[in-house]
Amino acid sequence: MKGLDYKWLEALNEVMAQQGFEPAAEKLFISQSAVSQRIKQLEKYVAQPVLVREQPLRLTPVGKKLIGLYRKVCVLEEELLPELKNEPVTTPVTLSIAANADALATWLLPSLSGVMKSGKVELDINILTEFRAAEKLKNGEVSGAISQEKDPMPGCVSEYLGRIDYLCVASPAFIQLYLTEGVTAQSLMKVPAVRFDQYDTMYKEFLMTHFGAFDGNNVCHTVRSSEAFVRLALEGMAYCLIPQIQIEKELADGRLIDITPGKTYSYPIYWHHWQLESGVLRDVTQAITGFTRSHLPQ
């Protein structure tokens, strides 16, 4: 955008990061009125608001796009300037990515181990549902995101990573207490289950897919932690759908049992990232794709 002053975008970014004009001013070493003036100049330039001035402060749709542009420029600049000046890279590049909790609990960190140990990148990992992760990438708030969506978003590339297989598991004590007469749709719809949040319909979809019905009135706990799902199952508090790669040891030693053998809940996952990659984002992409293609079912 010709004529766009990146000091305006810097001010907008800090106002959102600090959730206030005064702390943003302190961060930028300018006055609060100067921050306000920069935001007003930006809004005048785009002829519409970029902020919803409520608590908490929120970006408007155009504000999200402008923040996305600013962060892309920052990532590219952090890598390009040392090269242009023929100077060694002394500070890591800050990179934001989005993933769901299951990815973080299983394969994501091992895949990024080498990149993180290199000292070249400072990762900001946003833990979000896959729908929200895709939205963050679309708005430019993150550089890459894990998603079930195959088709790339505008300006992005989508790369297939593999398949995640969920098993329906419970502890021997849970089976003895609740499922002595067998595992059926009727029995599963009467016993305690667990979901990640109010948008998580995985176990209902599992029952619909493999048993053809869901009309239960059972207790369904809401627990926003993949690791806690495993603990709930081990303690006999609920039956759970858990990624197979997360519980291979527990299955092998009998602490968890696949209560619906041959019936899984599976979906493919994709790594979406900016089409214009910086060196660090390229390293992250290669690390993720290389690891998952050798560790996840294809």
pLDDT of residue 138: 80
CB 128 within 8 A of CB 98: yes
**Domain locations along the chain:** 1-80, 164-267
pLDDT of residue 213: 75
Cβ-proximal residues to 28 (8 Å cutoff; 6+ apart), any chain: 10, 11, 14, 35
Across the range 50-62, mean pLDDT stands at: 89
pLDDT of residue 84: 64
Other residues' Cβ atoms within 10 Å of the Cβ of residue 58: 12
* Residue recorded with tokens 């939205």: 135
* 163-208 confidence digits (pLDDT tens): 999 999 999 999 999 999 999 988 998 899 999 988 888 888 999 9
Across the range 132-148, mean pLDDT stands at: 85
pLDDT of residue 228: 96
Give CATH superfamily name and number for 164-267: Periplasmic binding protein-like II (3.40.190.10)
56-60 contacts: CB < 8 A, separation 24 or more?
A: 56/19, 57/15, 57/16, 57/19, 57/20, 59/16
| Residue 34, pLDDT above cutoff 70 | yes
Q: Is domain 1-80 annotated with CATH 1.10.10.10?
A: yes
Q: 240 or 278: which carries more pLDDT confidence? A: 240
Report the DSSP pairing between strands 220-222 and 144-147: unpaired
Split at pLDDT 50, 70, 90, the class of 241 is very high
pLDDT of residue 82: 65
Q: Which amino acid type is present at position 286?
A: Q
CA 221 to chain CA centroid, Å, is 22
* 154-164 confidence digits (pLDDT tens): 888 999 999 99
Paired tokens of 125: 């990992």
| Residue 282, pLDDT above cutoff 50 | yes
pLDDT of residue 55: 86
% of the chain surpassing 70 pLDDT = 94
| Residue 1, pLDDT above cutoff 60 | no
